[in-house]
Structure 1
């Protein structure tokens, strides 16, 4: 995992420092649980405690170079940097009243300016270690834009001096300690901890067993099980790459053994794991920030996101089915599947997930839902030996919760630099104006250029950070048109996510290819074919927001739109794979793809035309298949 996932390249031999990380990590998790139960502090103090502890753990756990992860202990300079990270952030706590009252009137002191500068540098270096260089480069570019705005043509601004810019970034609640880190220090941490609990108590493995039992016996059952399992685990996962490696270590060899080609097995896992980031209720933790940006309650967003997620996974599911038919890959034998009676006895392991979804849907706050689900998972784990945690296991669980959150903490804080710069300098509207001018005001071209911008910005960024960046830099271009706000934010969110499987970067595809021993580029191209829904559906719900339950979204209209869209995904997947009832030629592939697009478009006139095209190809395919079977029987006779 460390080879493909920057988040996993941490020190494996801490020596005595292991006790320090255990204490700091455990304390951070206890702090998050405490404030979730009793109420958070003011945003700047809550964020400073959250970020300070998080960055100190990054310096203790992540070496300056990934190649140094196996060296014993923590070098003196990293220990010093860990202390410095604590000091710069906790400086805010001890000087809070002065920083928010006196400093606004009398200005910031030289010490304040020094601390702010050090805090920004420490944040960027920690983010480089735990997340990677791309987001750091974007953040540095944002800072340079803030400093040198007066020298930049077209999109320039008056410019800031460094002391003003640094203190604005580090001591205000609109940049580093803005919305992303505020959400990270409340909701996101709890949901990530919930995901860790499911893994550590083996409840996550139960999801895999359920998926394999339900789908494993059908054509290409191993691939379908991988899609279903990744969808279930994706509900509580925050990383496409980590999900690919975590699930893929089990599902990819299983698919290869069943007869799938290595690149297809890797692409299936990568596309399904990437889809986990758009799967309600957690959606890679970005749904919480989306709620803040759009003003739409989180409980509503997870309902709005259901139909697009269903279409995405249906597309991947159908793609694996057609590939299995094409390759003649059957399902697993009954004795190879998990036994039903064993799974029925363990159905109570679903309770934490049911609680978290149910409580959110009936209107409870995300904090309450997450806390209750965490408590339920812990209680249920005690009833079985294979899920029960010892006292030592619980302590390690607290530390693991902090470790899992580190990439999100660093990414959210660094994304805050970018978002803060875009907001304070007015860069967002200028980029939006540039995109609209380039597209000459044509709505489709504006969507296309915004898609390209989101994919580029999304390359190398984790889910939460890429949404923050794309929502602040790319979304304003689409908001200039008469489109629902949620449709715009879902549009940029989707295309930021699919960067994980879009060549040439496609980190999730690279991770899957590493496990499968496949060609990474071939894996990436195949993943795009399987996940084609993610490239189509956003255009559809921007044009007809009924797919997001907006506008005239009554039961009848939504049902018709969903049924025709599912048929459309079947047609598109068939065209992409090159197989329906039997192999299809290039003309049939084009017609299947075109008919599928018309079916997906939620307008009855277009859908009827698409249905006719799909029906014609189906008749041709069934007739040809029947003729081929008759010919084979005659030859055999």
Structure 2
């Protein structure tokens, strides 16, 4: 059942010549995306149409219809490829007429009706192949509601029942398939993915792994700590929990298992660490770009607000790993840990593109320009050393791989556009918000809990961008009704959309880790939820306390900074129940209560919580020191 929901089409392994041709075509498409974004001013609708049609043309060759699809491209996939290409040519040739037509007023020509319907069908099939039946089923349900909702009784019914009305909004405006999600993917998401691809091809992934090993490799629980840090660093490039698990977990999980770590724990550490990458600045995941566009909050502000919560998330995972290692006496890494000189002998070049992106963001440049700076800096920096230099073919491969990596994201975001368009024209978004507020009785805490649960459910088996988009349009209005600031409320939804990747029963990130760890994905998922507990609690903290996101005054931010760090440590200690000495149950409960108090937006209460945590911490530090002195005596 779960497997069928998350099963996607198989990525084909074409013959060498065919694969080379596919890479070249994909690279040409990537070159067009760069040109369209950085050197021209395009009509958003036409840019979106050409991007989607180009993506579909490549997708139906690269990805088969089922998990067992053959490597040879069958005739029906060639037919879908040609249909996608024909749609792109038609819309390009008739771009002027399409841009000038007045939606819902000018009737469709037979050609517009045919190609618009074809594009709608292609979007559904592309979604099914790239994301599985979970998101596809949701989209189909919304389309059925859009088409036949007029037959439902109030308050759920609406007055729209004409297919041409539906088609006009969903395909011939920027409110549907070509709305905010696909516009974001077609611009800076694509370019940021390209940045990560080039950085990885030049050896950036190995540098991040060595950097993590340098910092933590010889400490107790070193391999697990390496997984936490390297996955967080790699996550800034990939922005996808599943791809992060596959990329870094293929190294860290076998190492942890070889040193005696249980497969369940090894997989859970990697899943918890990889999931947080989607919230880690300076790049974060594609959903963060959509958040910035959807809320009209500059991306620079989103990044700055996200820094401290992301650091707290990884601090929480890291501390739980540390206390577990102390409790179970987990061993450090075997063999040589890279030295500072070894790590930075060639790795120093990878600092340049990261610094370039940070500089561009802090200088106020647009995300598209910032991504362009990152791509250029990555290629130029890699060329400074022979060991990292990219050959002309590697550059072509990097361009082509970027297009192939963006296929699932584009399919998911095009489908999400269908949902947004349908919600906007039927008013279902506000109706859903009213239902949530009715169930919660308008109580703030209960509304937030319902919002978190709904977002996680929406994200089960779905890519993070799709989960966030659905939550933003269905749940976001309810949070707005309660008066929560737009950035904090949408970051709240984004975090729970991200956490859905490790939440049972589907937990797509755990499914990826299970194959590497050779362990039950459910066991990995439940352990990962425990390790990532701070990720489920922190959104409630920063939506109440703007200081957690550094959005308050100096006093508020300072108290929130200290309280957030100590509260995270208190939660980690309470969950693990030991700091080398087992805590009493009452002390664990007191730590939880103090952690809650420490992040409240009331300085007096927060300082009280901080004081309690410090008192308990000092007590156990003295006990540990006393035990150590007895053992050495």
Q: Tell me if the contact between 2:57 and 2:85 (Cα under 8 Å) persists in the aligned partners.
A: yes
Structure 1 residue 130 corresponds to structure 2 residue 130: yes
Distance (Å, rounded) in 2 between the aligned partners of 1:599 and 1:257: 40
Q: Which moved more, 1:534-543 or 1:91-100?
A: 91-100
- The change in CA–CA distance for 1:628 and 1:351 in structure 2 (over 3 A counts) is closer
Partner deviation per Cα, 1:147-184 (whole Å, 9 max, x = no partner): 11212232221123112212321111111011111111
Partner deviation per Cα, 1:23-50 (whole Å, 9 max, x = no partner): 3201110001112331241111111121
2:111 aligned residue: 111
Q: Tell me if the contact between 1:15 and 1:72 (Cα under 8 Å) persists in the aligned partners.
A: no
1:473 aligned residue: 474
Q: Tell me if the contact between 2:511 and 2:521 (Cα under 8 Å) persists in the aligned partners.
A: yes
1:145 aligned residue: 145
Distance (Å, rounded) in 2 between the aligned partners of 1:293 and 1:394: 33
Q: Which moved more, 1:384-393 or 1:625-634?
A: 625-634
1:291 aligned residue: 292
Q: CA deviation at 1:8?
A: 8.7
Structure 1 residue 78 corresponds to structure 2 residue 77: yes
Q: CA deviation at 1:119?
A: 1.0
Distance (Å, rounded) in 2 between the aligned partners of 1:165 and 1:285: 27
Distance (Å, rounded) in 1 between the aligned partners of 2:354 and 2:10: 29
Structure 1 residue 501 corresponds to structure 2 residue 502: yes
Q: Tell me if the contact between 1:44 and 1:177 (Cα under 8 Å) persists in the aligned partners.
A: yes
Structure 2 residue matching 1:345: 3-state secondary structure: helix
Q: CA deviation at 1:534?
A: 1.3
RMSD: 2.2
Q: CA deviation at 1:229?
A: 1.0
- The change in CA–CA distance for 1:500 and 1:255 in structure 2 (over 3 A counts) is same
- The change in CA–CA distance for 1:428 and 1:183 in structure 2 (over 3 A counts) is same
1:580 aligned residue: 579
2:242 aligned residue: 241
Q: CA deviation at 1:600?
A: 3.1
Q: CA deviation at 1:18?
A: 2.6
Structure 1 residue 92 corresponds to structure 2 residue 104: no
1:328 aligned residue: 329
2:608 aligned residue: 609
2:120 aligned residue: 120
**Which runs of structure 2 are paired with 1:612-631 in the superposition (5 Å)?**
612-618=611-617, 621-622=620-621, 625=624
2:27 aligned residue: 26
Structure 1 residue 252 corresponds to structure 2 residue 275: no
Q: CA deviation at 1:315?
A: 0.5
Q: CA deviation at 1:425?
A: 1.0
Q: CA deviation at 1:136?
A: 0.9
1:537 aligned residue: 538
**Which runs of structure 2 are paired with 1:319-358 in the superposition (5 Å)?**
319-332=320-333, 336-346=336-346, 347-358=348-359
Distance (Å, rounded) in 2 between the aligned partners of 1:537 and 1:94: 50
Q: CA deviation at 1:533?
A: 1.3
Distance (Å, rounded) in 2 between the aligned partners of 1:30 and 1:277: 26
2:100 aligned residue: 101
- The change in CA–CA distance for 1:324 and 1:591 in structure 2 (over 3 A counts) is same
**Which runs of structure 2 are paired with 1:371-410 in the superposition (5 Å)?**
371-410=372-411
Q: Tell me if the contact between 1:9 and 1:66 (Cα under 8 Å) persists in the aligned partners.
A: yes
Q: Tell me if the contact between 1:266 and 1:513 (Cα under 8 Å) persists in the aligned partners.
A: yes
Structure 1 residue 517 corresponds to structure 2 residue 551: no
Partner deviation per Cα, 1:221-258 (whole Å, 9 max, x = no partner): 22112111111111121311111111100111222233
**Which runs of structure 2 are paired with 1:409-448 in the superposition (5 Å)?**
409-448=410-449
Partner deviation per Cα, 1:46-87 (whole Å, 9 max, x = no partner): 11121111111111011111112xx34211110111111122
Q: Tell me if the contact between 2:191 and 2:372 (Cα under 8 Å) persists in the aligned partners.
A: yes
**Which runs of structure 2 are paired with 1:191-230 in the superposition (5 Å)?**
191-230=192-231
- The change in CA–CA distance for 1:91 and 1:561 in structure 2 (over 3 A counts) is same
Distance (Å, rounded) in 1 between the aligned partners of 2:208 and 2:7: 26
In structure 1, stretches of 5+ residues that fail to align are: none
Q: CA deviation at 1:321?
A: 0.7
Q: Tell me if the contact between 2:9 and 2:63 (Cα under 8 Å) persists in the aligned partners.
A: no
Q: CA deviation at 1:452?
A: 0.7
Partner deviation per Cα, 1:197-229 (whole Å, 9 max, x = no partner): 111111221111111101212221221121111
1:180 aligned residue: 181
Distance (Å, rounded) in 2 between the aligned partners of 1:445 and 1:476: 15
Structure 1 residue matching 2:578: 3-state secondary structure: coil
Structure 1 residue 559 corresponds to structure 2 residue 541: no
Q: Tell me if the contact between 1:245 and 1:511 (Cα under 8 Å) persists in the aligned partners.
A: yes
- The change in CA–CA distance for 1:110 and 1:203 in structure 2 (over 3 A counts) is same
Q: Tell me if the contact between 1:15 and 1:73 (Cα under 8 Å) persists in the aligned partners.
A: no
Distance (Å, rounded) in 1 between the aligned partners of 2:394 and 2:497: 36
Distance (Å, rounded) in 2 between the aligned partners of 1:9 and 1:563: 48
Distance (Å, rounded) in 1 between the aligned partners of 2:156 and 2:4: 39
Distance (Å, rounded) in 2 between the aligned partners of 1:214 and 1:112: 59
Structure 1 residue 232 corresponds to structure 2 residue 227: no
TM-score (norm 2): 0.94
In structure 2, stretches of 5+ residues that fail to align are: none
- The change in CA–CA distance for 1:383 and 1:101 in structure 2 (over 3 A counts) is closer
- The change in CA–CA distance for 1:5 and 1:376 in structure 2 (over 3 A counts) is farther
Aligned residue pair count:
628
Q: Tell me if the contact between 1:315 and 1:531 (Cα under 8 Å) persists in the aligned partners.
A: yes
Distance (Å, rounded) in 2 between the aligned partners of 1:619 and 1:365: 47
